[in-house]
A and B are shown apart, each in its own frame.
Chain A
Amino acid sequence: MKEKIKIASGQGFWGDLIEAPYWQVINGDVDYLVMDYLAEVTMSILQKQKNKNPKLGYAKDIPELMRRILPVCKEKNIKVITNGGGVNPIACAEAVLEVSKNIGIKDLKIGVVLGDNILDNVETIISSGCELNNMESNESINIIKDKLLSANVYFGAEPIVDALKLGADIVITGRTTDTGLTLAPMIYEFNWDMDNYDLMSLGTIAGHILECGAQSTGGNFLGNWESVENFAQIGFPIAEAYPNGDVIITKHKNLGGKVSFDTVAEQLLYEIGNPKDYITPDCVADFSSVELEDLGDNRVLMKNVKGFPPTKFYKVSCSYFYGYSAVGSLTYSWPKALTKAKRADQILRERLKNLGLTFEEIRTEFVGLNSCHGPLVKIPNEDEINEIMLRVAVRSKDYNSVERFGREIAPLILTGPPSVTGFAGGRPKPAEVVAYWPALIPKVLVKPEVKILS
């Protein structure tokens, strides 16, 4: 057994810093590179791409990234784990194999985790008695069943561990929990018993620290952010894990960023609910138990995590077509910038009403004044305001209303208050609104499947 392993985070979401995973593998020794590509909406986007072309439906950045990092990974024996397979992990693996062939890398084994995509089985699942009720509203999925765009089960670390046991150099999954990507190599390398819930929770919490990339190493740090050095080449987090369950969060020395009690604590609190009840397929982790110790030199030790058995359910993430939205903006300058923007908003709303358009919501914000903090903002003396961006957003089930809204913004320039600018982007186009439907499914109804491609 290895005395320790280093797991490097390479991506916090699809669209994150493209250089980051490359930096992680070239700037020091790591054993694993883990990359989270999937947000809730991402699955529906990928599903649409797959519907148009059955060879797509995964994070398209992956093959190009692999072309860059595979030679280094092969040389240094770094394994890669990612959920960027999206709704088509097989196609993703095939694309990576193609790339590896082109650059002369042989004997590559890719483990693919399948079985999370239940879009085609929803009827069967409902008829077996699982209503896939919305976890928040408790409504039955029947009301949106015809509009479903994607439906995926969140698997945990287990199928990734299985793929590693089968000798995979790369593991590509569909909808796996972000935390499972980091927990899996710890289980695999240290032979951790998956019934040891304290260890499962430790690895899960380490995964939570890694899953948003540089958000634990100084990015988006609301503490003393100006003390963070070299944002331009910010180092993504690395979890240095030990068999006894100690984990040190750190980063490569020669990259920028900062790892301290404060930067790690902020990420621990990110998007959590009840800290004693962080539910994953692998365990229920208690975030209020973890002990953090700042060791200095960009190293933070975490230990003594308490955990509990997982529930009998997997979470299901569904997305469905909801309607349309559009956002338009214009900028008004001094004098009386705010008064002008408010007047333009009134005129716009009157015109939309006169046209008989229907909207679920029309939302007006004044960017530069109060779009972030709304009613909490003390409005300054108007003479001190140099400019205001009027931002109006609409949402409707009716495409034509949203489309017409887009044609009512530019006319305000010549038919409303003066000293207005900022319409270079053209008419706002209606965007499809895809809504999210969280549900639970008994674990006995779905089974992850692991395939090895080589």
Chain B
Amino acid sequence: MKIKLIDIAHGRSGDKGDSANVGIIAYNKEGYEIIKKYLTAEKVKSYFEGICLGEVERFELPNLLALNFILHNTLGGGGTISLKLDAQGKTLAAALLRMELVVNQ
């Protein structure tokens, strides 16, 4: 079964130097179990191919039904050096929410 991430979660993203942080928050516990199982660091890394040029780290926050991803080497140098329109990665959470997860029922 395919699930659109945007149907089960929301999130927020921002910058930490040249890394972006993308927080994804499930709307309920079932949603959290799905993202915890299927939204792996590897999947996020390959999804952001061409944008995230470094590693992806993943952290779990079960208290917020959330995962936090750190996308290294992503913002074109970061801060004031970056030439990107979205130099702070503000729209990357929305980009990730567009992902479809293939879920085993």
Q: Answer yes or no: do A and B interact.
A: yes
Which A residues form the contact surface with B (CB < 8 A)? 40-41, 136, 220-224, 262, 265-276, 287-292, 322, 325, 327, 361, 363, 365, 367, 371-376, 391, 393-395, 433-436, 438
Task: Report if A375-B80 is in contact (Cβ < 8 Å); known contacts: A266-B25, A268-B64, A269-B23.
Answer: no
Which B residues form the contact surface with A (CB < 8 A)? 10-12, 14-18, 21, 23, 25, 27, 47-51, 57, 59-66, 68, 70, 76-81, 83-86, 90-91, 93-95, 97-98
B64 and A371 contact, CB distance less than 8 A: no
Q: Which of B11, B60, B70, B81 contacts A322 (CB 8 A)?
A: B81
B23 and A266 contact, CB distance less than 8 A: yes
Q: Which of A269, A271, A376 contacts B25 (CB 8 A)?
A: A269
Q: Which of B10, B16, B48, B59 contacts A271 (CB 8 A)?
A: B16
A269 and B81 contact, CB distance less than 8 A: no
Taking the nearest CB of chain B, how far is it from the CB of A220, in angstroms? 7
B64 and A265 contact, CB distance less than 8 A: yes
- The tally of CB-CB contacts under 8 A between chains A and B is 131
Chain B CB count within 10 A is highest, among A136, A224, A291, A434, for A136
Cα of A361 to Cα of B57 in the assembled complex, Å: 27
Question: Which residues from B are CB-within-8-Å of A367?
Answer: 85
B64 and A222 contact, CB distance less than 8 A: no
B11 and A266 contact, CB distance less than 8 A: yes
- Which 8 pairs between the two chains have the least Cβ-Cβ distance? A269-B23, A375-B50, A393-B83, A223-B10, A363-B83, A271-B14, A372-B91, A266-B12
Question: Which residues from B are CB-within-8-Å of A433?
Answer: 80-81
Task: Report if A363-B21 is in contact (Cβ < 8 Å); known contacts: A220-B12, A270-B12.
Answer: no
Q: Which of A273, A289, A376 contacts B98 (CB 8 A)?
A: A376
B66 and A265 contact, CB distance less than 8 A: yes
Q: Which of A41, A272, A391 contacts B79 (CB 8 A)?
A: A41
Task: Report if A262-B21 is in contact (Cβ < 8 Å); known contacts: A222-B10, A222-B12, A371-B85.
Answer: no
Interface of A is mostly: mixed
Task: Report if A375-B51 is in contact (Cβ < 8 Å); known contacts: A266-B12, A322-B81, A434-B80.
Answer: yes
Taking the nearest CB of chain B, how far is it from the CB of A288, in angstroms? 5
Closest B-chain residue to A222, C-beta based? B10
Taking the nearest CB of chain B, how far is it from the CB of A38, in angstroms? 14
Task: Report if A41-B10 is in contact (Cβ < 8 Å); known contacts: A287-B61, A376-B98.
Answer: no
A271 and B63 contact, CB distance less than 8 A: no
Task: Report if A262-B80 is in contact (Cβ < 8 Å); known contacts: A273-B16, A288-B63, A292-B63.
Answer: no
Question: Which residues from B are CB-within-8-Å of A395?
Answer: 81, 83
Taking the nearest CB of chain A, how far is it from the CB of B29, in angstroms? 13
A373 and B12 contact, CB distance less than 8 A: no
Q: Which of A224, A270, A325, A374 contacts B23 (CB 8 A)?
A: A270
Cα of A433 to Cα of B80 in the assembled complex, Å: 6
Chain B CB count within 10 A is highest, among A273, A289, A325, for A273
Question: Which residues from B are CB-within-8-Å of A223?
Answer: 10, 25, 27
Cα of A373 to Cα of B51 in the assembled complex, Å: 8
Closest A-chain residue to B76, C-beta based? A363
